[in-house]
Amino acid sequence: MKWAADLEPVSAGEMVFYRSLFGLPVVILWIMSKGTGLDAIKTKRPMVHLWRCVLGVSGIFLIFEGLRHLTLADAITIGFTAPIFATLLSIVFLKEKVGRHRWTAIAMGFLGVVVVMRPGLAGAPPLGGFLFALGGAFVAASVTVTLRQLGKTESATSIVFWFFVACAVGGGVYSLFDSHSHTLTVFAILAMGGLAGGVAQLLMTTSLQHAPVSVLAPLDYLQMGGALVLGWLMMSDIPTFATLCGAALIAASGLYTAWRERVLRREITPPAPTSSV
């Protein structure tokens, strides 16, 4: 999506629409392969689904808008503040207790944001882009908290399907008022972005069926390395020293939080009894 926007004007609404338009068939084929038919997308909590979709569509709009104004590395780095916001929201809405270790991780993460933003310094990225990216991260964190509740009664299949449908509708309506004609090359890039989004969503959803979140969460930070490499290869974006330092702090914050949660879970859960044979 960033590649396409660098070649021609592409609105955030168009990005959302094309990601859904070309990603939704992948999701539908995945559902059909399960052989469960429409039962796979039935929901017992339609209003909670609606709220999740409103949050999700708003978040992806903000993320793509930030992507239009920032380098790929900066946008992805700021996106990883979502776990920090999720921790703060879990304190407020889920009444979770957070000790000094996680507070330290939160402070480290926000310090990383300041380092990447480098306010007041020459060559600092546009503030508007950062505000969009931070807003997208905050909304993504809100989605995470909502999914903790929704996942208790709803299948991952229905959650993914209705989110893609909501994005297609929201992006389509927005594109009616802010869209551009595109060359075949840019259209093909947008289509590839949509297919990649659909496949990625299914891979992430399937991975959660085979391993706990605490094991998979650290792997998310490989996206930072991927953003640095792809931004350099495809858009000639060379990350600044501030971006690298800020990314390191944000990643360390998230990894430390994931490690701490795993330790606490191990302390709370008694070990399985071993056989005497």
Could you tell me how far CA 15 lies from the centroid of its own chain? 15
Chain mean position to CA 149 = 18
Return all residues near 144 (Cβ < 8 A) that are at least 6 apart.
82, 83, 86, 89
Q: Alpha-carbon dihedral of residues 256, 90, 108, 252, nearest 10 degrees?
A: 30
pLDDT for 274 equals 33
* pLDDT tens-digit profile, the chain (277 residues): 999 998 999 999 999 999 999 999 998 888 888 766 777 788 888 888 889 899 999 999 999 999 998 888 888 888 888 878 877 887 777 677 777 888 888 888 889 888 888 876 666 778 888 899 999 999 988 887 787 777 777 777 888 889 899 999 999 999 899 888 899 999 999 999 999 988 888 887 777 667 766 667 677 778 888 888 888 888 888 888 888 898 889 888 888 877 777 776 665 444 433 333 3
Distance of alpha carbon 239 from alpha carbon 268, whole angstroms: 42
Residue 272 has a pLDDT of 37
Q: At 188, which amino acid appears?
A: A
Q: List the one residue out of 30, 158, 137 whose CA is nearest residue 84.
A: 137
pTM: 0.81
| Backbone angle region of 236, left / alpha / beta, with phi > 0 → left and psi within -120 to 50 → alpha | left
Name the residue among 262, 253, 267 with its Cα closest to residue 83: 253
